[in-house]
A and B are shown apart, each in its own frame.
Chain A
Amino acid sequence: MLFSVMEYSDQSHQDSTVGHFDQVKMLVFRSGGIVFGADVEEVIEILDDENSKIEELPDTPGLMWDDLVGFTTFRKEELAVISLNQQFDLTPALDNVMGIESAQVIVVQNEYGYLGIQVDQIDTIIDLEIEHIDSIPHFVENLLEVESLWGMGKASQSTDMLSVTDDGIGDVIMLVGLNDILPEDQKRLIQTITYSKFRDMAETSSLGLTSES
Chain B
Amino acid sequence: MKAGEAGGTVARRKTDLILQQAAQEKIDSHQEVTTEDVRTLVRFFLGEEQYAIDASYISGVWDQDQWSIYPIPCVPSYLLGVINLRSDIISVLDLCDYFGLPTSEIDDVTRIMVVDPALGKNEEGQLVVGFLVDKVVDIQPISLSEIQPPLTTIEKVTAEYIDGETHFEDKDTGTETLIGIISVESVLVAEMNARLSEKE
Contact = CB atoms under 8 A, between A and B. Distances in A.
Instruction: Decide whether A and B assemble into one complex.
Output: yes
A88 B192 CA distance: 22
Nearest to B71: A34
Nearest to B130: A139
Contacts of B173: none
Interface in B71-129: 71-76, 79, 82-84, 87, 89-91, 93, 126-129
Interface residues of B, number: 27
A166 to B, nearest CB: 14
Interface in A144-192: 144-146, 149, 152, 154-156, 170-172, 174
Nearest to A84: B73
Given A138-B127, A139-B188, A142-B192, A174 B68 contact: no
B70 interface: yes
Residue with the highest number of chain A CB atoms closer than 10 Å, among B70, B83, B199: B70
A93 to B, nearest CB: 12
A144 B195 CA distance: 10
Main SS class of interface, B: mixed
Contact of A144 (B72, B87, B90): B72
A140 B84 contact: no
A83 to B, nearest CB: 13
B191 interface: yes
Contact of B91 (A132, A139, A170, A174): A139
Contacts of A140: 72, 75, 79, 82, 91
Contacts of B199: 142
Nearest to A139: B91
A143 B68 contact: no
B196 interface: yes
A136 to B, nearest CB: 8
A195 to B, nearest CB: 29
A35 B82 contact: no
B196 A149 contact: no
Interface in B16-37: none
Nearest to B198: A142
B192 A89 contact: no
Residue with the highest number of chain B CB atoms closer than 10 Å, among A134, A154, A170, A172: A172
Residue with the highest number of chain A CB atoms closer than 10 Å, among B74, B127, B128, B191: B74
Interface of B: 68, 70-76, 79, 82-84, 87, 89-91, 93, 126-129, 188, 191-192, 195-196, 199
Given A139-B192, A144-B74, A149-B72, 7 more contacts: A138-B127, A139-B129, A142-B192, A143-B76, A149-B74, A155-B84, A171-B84
Interface of A: 32-35, 88-90, 132, 134, 137-140, 142-146, 149, 152, 154-156, 170-172, 174
